[in-house]
Amino acid sequence: MKIAVLPGDGIGPEIIAEAVKVLEVLNLGLEMETAPVGGAGYEAAGHPLPPATLKLAQEADAILFGAVGDWKYDTLDRPLRPEQAILGLRKALGLFANFRPAICYKELTHASSLKPELVAGLDILIIRELTGDIYFGAPRGRRVAPDGHFPGSEEAFDTMRYSRPEIERIAHVAFQAAQKRDKRVTSVDKSNVLETFQLWKDVVTEVAKQYPDVALDHMYVDNAAMQLVKEPKRFDVVVTGNMFGDILSDEASMLTGSIGMLPSASLNDKKQGLYEPSHGSAPDIAGKGIANPLATILSAAMMLRFSLGMEEAALKIEAAVQKVLADGLRTADIYSEGTTKVSTSQMGDAVVKALQA
Ligand SMILES: NC(=O)c1ccc[n+]([C@@H]2O[C@H](COP(=O)([O-])OP(=O)(O)OC[C@H]3O[C@@H](n4cnc5c(N)ncnc54)[C@H](O)[C@@H]3O)[C@@H](O)[C@H]2O)c1
Ligand SMILES: CC(C)[C@H](C(=O)O)[C@@H](O)C(=O)O
Ligand SMILES: [Mg+2]
């Protein structure tokens, strides 16, 4: 099995190093090859997604991705910005289904932003459509007023769009995921305002008829943002569009204790997948050795499960993460009194040790 390892920028290389350590100790015979991406790709080859990196990703069975981006690239035009690398990979590989599980480990109920009783036992699966919506809709661009005189008259625009097949396939993914869980799907939209999400709601409702064993409800995104912090356990599977899913998954991460705990899997219809933490490159803490590597380590577990068919090894990693938390080890983002603060690499080492025990 060949894995493309793309560390990226900021804390990307720090957290990926820990996930690689964990995979190596399991001795699974994985062939891991590293390539630059994002700002690192721009520095190495003049493009955030260098052709050689894209080729490696296309040929791999799975991709383990860190994060891309840094404030210093904010002045670059869109095609050259580091973030285009992850968007380009998602599009090129057809990774339309993004799984972002928000699970609150019992050891972290006190690290959550909510009262412990609201998050105890929390297990939500956010399914975010990942290759459509306003992220990829055309046309998009900027327009200068014909007179060209007033900078203030410049206009910028993006297009929010979904086609019926795009909504159908993500709805099927959500209902099938719910069948293996608590059999409840909440479809999050903004159909009271947007044409795009009226179609979304109609299509999800139609697809639901094929899954009579799954209960479907619909919720507007503004209400969903509120319900997530009021009563998060009312949700089982949440299915939504690209942009709403981006925002709601960051919000949901704080129910689990930290954005550093939220893994993700982005899948196409061939089981090829890209696995990355839901967070970004965190330039504010990069190089300090304090980033939480657990979201990346848990993403590696998802990789073993979904793309490589190694369920047993995935379960081992998840159990090892639980063990280090039960032993009281915490990176700064999930630290609380009475626990032991550890660095990024100490956390990775502890997971390795738990796997060797
Ligand atoms: N998939 C990706 O590669 C991805 C995802 C999100 C953001 N980004 C990019 O990352 C850069 C920074 O964006 P941002 O600051 O808005 O979001 P971010 O997720 O990088 O950071 C937000 C906050 O969370 C903290 N944080 C994030 N990950 C952490 C971890 N593992 N452990 C501890 N704390 C952690 C950061 O220190 C910061 O305070 C931008 O260039 C953005 O575009 C990339
Ligand atoms: C970096 C950015 C393009 C990306 C997104 O918006 O999808 C990120 O926020 C994420 O959640 O993976
Ligand atoms: Mg995001």
How many other CB atoms sit within 10 Å of the CB of residue 171?
Answer: 25
Question: Is the N-terminal amide bond of 165 cis, ω within 30° of 0?
Answer: no
pLDDT, tens digit, for every residue of 123-163? Answer: 999 999 999 999 999 999 887 766 665 555 678 899 999 99
pLDDT, tens digit, for every residue of 115-124? Answer: 999 999 999 9
Mean pLDDT of 6-18: 98
pLDDT, tens digit, for every residue of 295-347? Answer: 999 999 999 999 999 999 999 999 999 999 999 999 999 999 999 999 999 99
Confidence (pLDDT) at 52 = 98
Confidence (pLDDT) at 232 = 98
Confidence (pLDDT) at 78 = 87
Centroid of ligand 2 to alpha carbon of 246 (angstroms): 7
Confidence (pLDDT) at 151 = 58
Which candidate, 249, 308, 226, places its Cα nearest to that of 100?
249
- Ligand (nearest to CA of 6): 1
Confidence (pLDDT) at 150 = 56
Ligand 1: nearest atom to the Cα of 73 = 41
Strands 141-143, 155-157: parallel, antiparallel or unpaired by DSSP? antiparallel
Confidence (pLDDT) at 354 = 98
pLDDT above 90: residue 77: no
Which candidate, 281, 321, 322, 329, places its Cα nearest to that of 300?
321
Ligand 1: nearest atom to the Cα of 85 = 3
- Domains of the chain: residue spans and CATH: 1-98+265-357 (3.40.718.10)
How much of the chain, in percent, has pLDDT values that exceed 70? 97
Mean pLDDT of 89-97: 98
Centroid of ligand 3 to alpha carbon of 146 (angstroms): 36
Residue 61 CB less than 6 A away from ligand 2: no
Mean pLDDT of 207-217: 98
Residues with CB under 5 A from ligand 3 (ion): 246
Confidence (pLDDT) at 44 = 98
Confidence (pLDDT) at 271 = 82
pLDDT above 70: residue 169: yes
Residue 278 CB less than 6 A away from ligand 2: yes
Residue 87 CB less than 6 A away from ligand 2: yes
The residue whose C-alpha atom lies closest to atom 37 belonging to ligand 1 is: 282
pLDDT above 90: residue 27: yes
The Cα 157–Cα 140 span in angstroms is 5
What rounded mean pLDDT belongs to the chain? 96
Residue 83 CB less than 6 A away from ligand 2: yes
Centroid of ligand 1 to alpha carbon of 67 (angstroms): 8
- Ligand (nearest to CA of 333): 1
Work out the angle at residue 279's Cα, subtended by the Cα atoms of residues 278 and 281, and round it to the nearest 5 degrees: 135
Centroid of ligand 1 to alpha carbon of 281 (angstroms): 5
Confidence (pLDDT) at 281 = 98
